A and B are shown apart, each in its own frame.
Chain A
């Protein structure tokens, strides 16, 4: 239901009604400098509020607030209007228009009197006169939600606007994309079981192509690594993982890091371990939490693309049932704790 269709009572006090009129006409006139005329007890020349509508240049309009209904104890009369109009003649500089804002209900007799009076005065070059009953004021309020919010906060709930805002919010595929981005950023994907797989991809060794791909310089998979002669470093990696639970394999491109890593991890795979590889090395946080209790070896390729804090966090999670092996393409060995083991290209 619109604000205009509701039965809204005027403010309980005349002072509050005058304040409401001031705020309302500041909005209508688009004149934030509109103000009350003097203070109580001072001569106001029939004008309670004055302002410059549209700021077109020293053209003042006035408001006379009349709290007139059962709550305020009386009703607005034609004589009272005539009397107040006469007083307003003394307002300087002369006003262009005087509006009576009343809490009384609309009165056709009074409206007719004011129309005739206004036309007659305009013909004589004097300010025009209007009267606004409470229904008219409520109608004007409906066009200025900020005023409603201030004086009738309980009525300020605009369901239509809320609905439009909700409809304008991201939804559907937008939300799905946002969720995917958030999961990637916080690296919590693996805690949500279905998302574990994209983050950690299982490694299998059942597809060997012999030495051909290696001799032709092709990329080698886990199965291919078993076709290559076992490197000494693979056995070193196995020993390091068993004793320290994590190891770093460092070397120049083409030194056989991948082959070595796959050969080492195959040793554990044969002993019943799961071997998984990180799918995206640019995640910001990785939790080594396998979906089951099976011992798992986590392989991190392209570790040089990961932040040092992320790598350190991964290695801190390594334990007797969760091994972590990372290989780095740059021959840069960073020692992160006191007393680390560094031995022939390995940093632990």
Chain B
């Protein structure tokens, strides 16, 4: 399997039908949308593609993975467990 090519394939397919993709992405990351101050979905897809070697990374970034990771780190810090990271 070629991770880069798979990422490119997935990104292209998602961009080809943005309304359907937005419905799915917005359910897991409410910062992405068409409202003012929302992040543009096409730009999110491009960013995820450019920073990912594998499909799982692409999905992680596009699905707001870093945001969830930050939230988990904050929760851990609040409990004094951030050193585990």
Contact = CB atoms under 8 A, between A and B. Distances in A.
A254 B54 contact: yes
Contact of A260 (B1, B14, B57): B1
A85 B83 CA distance: 99
B41 interface: no
A212 B3 contact: no
By secondary structure, the A interface counts as loop
Interface string A1-44: 00000000000000000000000000000000000000000000
Given A229-B10, A232-B9, 14 more contacts: A215-B64, A216-B28, A216-B63, A217-B63, A229-B9, A250-B1, A252-B1, A254-B57, A255-B2, A255-B3, A255-B6, A255-B54, A256-B6, A260-B1
Given A250-B1, A260-B1, A231 B57 contact: no
Cβ-closest 8 pairs across A and B: A229-B13, A251-B1, A215-B63, A254-B56, A211-B24, A255-B1, A254-B54, A256-B55
Interface in B1-40: 1-3, 5-6, 9-10, 12-14, 21, 24-25, 27-29
Interface in B53-79: 54-57, 59-60, 62-65
Contacts of B25: 211, 215
Contacts, number: 75
B5 A215 contact: no
A254 B53 CA distance: 10
A168 interface: no
B21 A211 contact: yes
Interface string A122-135: 00000000000000
Contacts of B12: 229
A212 to B, nearest CB: 6
Given A210-B24, A215-B25, A229 B14 contact: yes
B62 A215 contact: yes
A332 to B, nearest CB: 13
A252 B3 contact: yes
B26 to A, nearest CB: 10
